[in-house]
Amino acid sequence: MISVVLVEPEGPANIGMVARTMKNFGFPKLVLVNPNITRESYSYAVHAADVLKEALVVGSFEEALELFDLTVGTTGKPGKSYIPERAPLMPWELRETIRGYPGRVGLFFGRESIGLKNEELERLDFTVTIPTSEAYPVMNLAQAVAVILYELAKERPEAKVHSLEPATRREKEELVNAWRRLLDALNYPKDPERREVFVRVFRRFVGRSLLYGREVHTLIGPLRRALMKLEECGDAER
Amino acid sequence: MISVVLVEPEGPANIGMVARTMKNFGFPKLVLVNPNITRESYSYAVHAADVLKEALVVGSFEEALELFDLTVGTTGKPGKSYIPERAPLMPWELRETIRGYPGRVGLFFGRESIGLKNEELERLDFTVTIPTSEAYPVMNLAQAVAVILYELAKERPEAKVHSLEPATRREKEELVNAWRRLLDALNYPKDPERREVFVRVFRRFVGRSLLYGREVHTLIGPLRRALMKLEECGDAER
């Protein structure tokens, strides 16, 4: 079970936005260290008021630490004064690292102004950082939470469910063959080698387009129809 | 080159937050369709005022479309009105799909209240969605931008050199029209609404496949040839 911990968040609106993004990604457990929750927080939470209402409020960083088996601190650009023992993990490395971990995980986010203090970071098990541009590395708190939770939520099975079946290799091959037969019926281009190139271009077109099975059939239909008509027509001419 | 396009953003603060997240992830190009930029926007942009100042403001969705070779629309949870054949890509699939693509890419984000309209989504090449919880799928605009840019930024810096020119919007439109004229000549499918669906499937096929200009011409050739033959044949029958 993963909880989000906001350590002394300064903006009431940010608390609400964080609650919203937590509910968006299906992480309902929020811990707040010395927060300033106002009506504005609820207004920014929109439909995630329940996350705010059920948040656990504690009085110190140490109290929050006690709640977890594994603690992760987020840092912006590692400052000059902080020399981490280990290089911070990238968000996707964090996901791999804690995958399947059965204990209680606390994801600690610091103050909007100064983040987590060095003495706080030292108490945590891991550090994670979002790779940002040198030109402007400091993210808005709620956006940083959104990015980390998005990455962690990828492990959930529902992230992988598509309602449509991707086209199989066989279906795609049928589509390419329908195209090939059309070119043959047209005798176009006349040069067989060039005709092969035309088929290859079509095959690449099919390969790159992430078609679904149903779509393949919608595309084959007119090609077969055209072929049939052209053949009828050819017979008529003879 | 990837640009972020905000279509009729409603909140001045959100425009600023989006500018900030763009600078965080190193994507400086912002296009705004009918925005309401206020002092609040600049205050939320914090150190990304330059992104806002250099944003291109246009008066319509169509004007924004014209700026790009490849267009991507973001949608929240597929709603009831959602066209079922359009299975959206996951953000990481989008990253894989456009990796190394040398053309101009526009990432379209809709209004905070209603997102992109269906008639807008239909004009775009791809749809991407962030996998969110059933319980609360609707994300804050700036957080959705943060997640998508975070995912796309994993690829950079890449600067792949391609010698081929990506197909322009106009070229892709010509290819779709060649397909449409073929269906018309075949009178297939007979029902005009179904025929429109067949054209839409083809348009998506084209949109998703990252074609090069030269390839478009190789694909149009046989379609025009088939059309010509069918027309000759129709005349001969009369």
Q: Does B169 touch chain A (CB under 8 A)?
A: no
CATH superfamily of B2-153: SPOUT methyltransferase, trefoil knot domain (3.40.1280.10)
- At residue B80 the predicted structure's pLDDT band, cuts being 50, 70 and 90, is very low
Mean model confidence pLDDT for chain A: 88
Neighbours of B209 (CB within 10 A): 21
Q: Does the distance separating the beta carbons of B136 and A48 come in below 8 Å?
A: yes
Q: How many CB pairs under 8 A join A and B?
A: 180
Please tell me the number of Cα atoms within 13 Å of B40 on its side-chain side.
9
Q: Does A172 touch chain B (CB under 8 A)?
A: no
pLDDT of residue A37: 95
pLDDT of residue A236: 58
Q: How far apart are the first and last CA of chain A?
A: 75
pLDDT of residue B81: 47
Dihedral angle over CA of A149, A150, A156, A157, nearest 10: 170
Segments in A38-168 forming alpha helices (H): 39-45, 49-53, 61-65, 91-98, 118-121, 141-153
Chain B residue with the nearest C-alpha to that of A47: B136
Q: Is the per-residue pLDDT at B238 higher than 80?
A: no
Q: Does residue B133 contact residue B30 with C-beta atoms inside 8 Å?
A: no
Q: Is the per-residue pLDDT at B14 higher than 50?
A: yes
- How many residues are there in chain A? 238
Mean pLDDT of A22-46: 96
The order of strands in the sheet holding A105-109 is A56-58, A30-33, A2-7, A105-109, A70-75, A126-129
The order of strands in the sheet holding B2-7 is B56-58, B30-33, B2-7, B105-109, B70-75, B126-129
Structure tokens at B144: 């959705």
Q: Does residue A94 contact residue A70 with C-beta atoms inside 8 Å?
A: no
Structure tokens at B208: 């998703």
Chain B residue with the nearest C-alpha to that of A180: B222
Which ipTM value was assigned to this complex? 0.72
Chain A residue with the nearest C-alpha to that of B201: A215
Within 187-216 of B, beta carbons closer than 8 Å to A belong to: 188-189, 197-198, 201-202, 204-206, 208-211, 215
- At residue A209 the predicted structure's pLDDT band, cuts being 50, 70 and 90, is confident
Q: Which of A54-58, A206-210, B103-107 has the highest mean pLDDT?
A: A54-58
Least confident of A103-117, A183-197, B37-51, B201-215: B201-215
pLDDT digits (tens, 9 = 90+) for B56-69: 999 999 999 999 99
Mean pLDDT of A90-102: 87
Within 95-134 of B, beta carbons closer than 8 Å to A belong to: 97, 130-134
Q: Report the alpha-carbon distance of residue A233 to residue A229 in Å, rounded.
A: 6
Q: Does the distance separating the beta carbons of B208 and A205 come in below 8 Å?
A: no
Give the gap in angstroms from C-alpha B140 to the nearest C-alpha of chain A: 8
Per the DSSP assignment, residues forming a β-bridge with A32 are A6, A57
Cβ-based neighbours of A100, under 8 Å, separated by 6 or more: none
Q: Is A46 left (phi over 0), alpha (psi -120 to 50) or beta?
A: left
Mean pLDDT of B196-206: 90
3-state secondary structure of A131: coil
Q: Is the per-residue pLDDT at B107 higher than 90?
A: yes
Q: Does B184 touch chain A (CB under 8 A)?
A: no
List of chain A residues whose C-beta atoms are within 8 Å of the C-beta of residue B188 = 221-222, 225
Give the gap in angstroms from C-alpha A188 to the nearest C-alpha of chain B: 7
pLDDT digits (tens, 9 = 90+) for B15-51: 999 999 999 999 999 999 999 999 999 999 999 999 9
Give pTM, 2 decimals: 0.76
Q: Does the distance separating the beta carbons of A150 and B26 come in below 8 Å?
A: no
Least confident of A37-41, A184-188, B6-10, B166-170: B166-170
List of chain A residues whose C-beta atoms are within 8 Å of the C-beta of residue B90 = 159
pLDDT of residue A163: 55
Within 30-89 of B, beta carbons closer than 8 Å to A belong to: 46-48, 84-85, 87, 89
Percent of chain B whose pLDDT exceeds 90: 64
Q: Does B159 touch chain A (CB under 8 A)?
A: no
List of chain B residues whose C-beta atoms are within 8 Å of the C-beta of residue A159 = 90, 131
Q: Does the distance separating the beta carbons of B237 and A133 come in below 8 Å?
A: no
Q: Quick one: which of B125, B123, B74 has its CA closest to B103?
A: B125
**Angle of CA points A220, A225, A228, to nearest 5°:** 125
List of chain A residues whose C-beta atoms are within 8 Å of the C-beta of residue B197 = 218
Mean model confidence pLDDT for chain B: 88
Structure tokens at A7: 């350590």
pLDDT of residue B78: 52
Structure tokens at A28: 């309902």
Q: Does residue A79 contact residue A129 with C-beta atoms inside 8 Å?
A: no
pLDDT of residue B165: 79
Mean pLDDT of A85-109: 85
Q: Does the distance separating the beta carbons of A183 and B25 come in below 8 Å?
A: no
Q: Report the alpha-carbon distance of residue A32 to residue A97 in Å, rounded.
A: 25
Structure tokens at A32: 């707040």
Give the gap in angstroms from C-alpha B34 to the nearest C-alpha of chain A: 24
Q: Report the alpha-carbon distance of residue B85 to residue B197 in Å, rounded.
A: 9
The better pLDDT of the pair B57, B123 is held by B57
Q: Is the per-residue pLDDT at B185 higher than 50?
A: yes
B179 vs B57, B84, B89, B175, B194, CA distance in Å?
34, 22, 25, 6, 14
**What counts of helices (H) and strands (E) characterise chain A?**
10, 6
List of chain B residues whose C-beta atoms are within 8 Å of the C-beta of residue A13 = none
Mean pLDDT of A179-205: 92
Q: Is the per-residue pLDDT at B160 higher than 50?
A: no
Mean pLDDT of A182-201: 92
Q: Quick one: which of B224, B172, B171 has its CA closest to A188?
A: B224
pLDDT of residue A157: 52
Q: Does the distance separating the beta carbons of A150 and B150 come in below 8 Å?
A: yes
At the topology level, CATH places domain A2-160 in: Alpha/beta knot (3.40.1280)
pLDDT of residue A159: 44
Domain boundaries, chain A: 2-160, 169-237
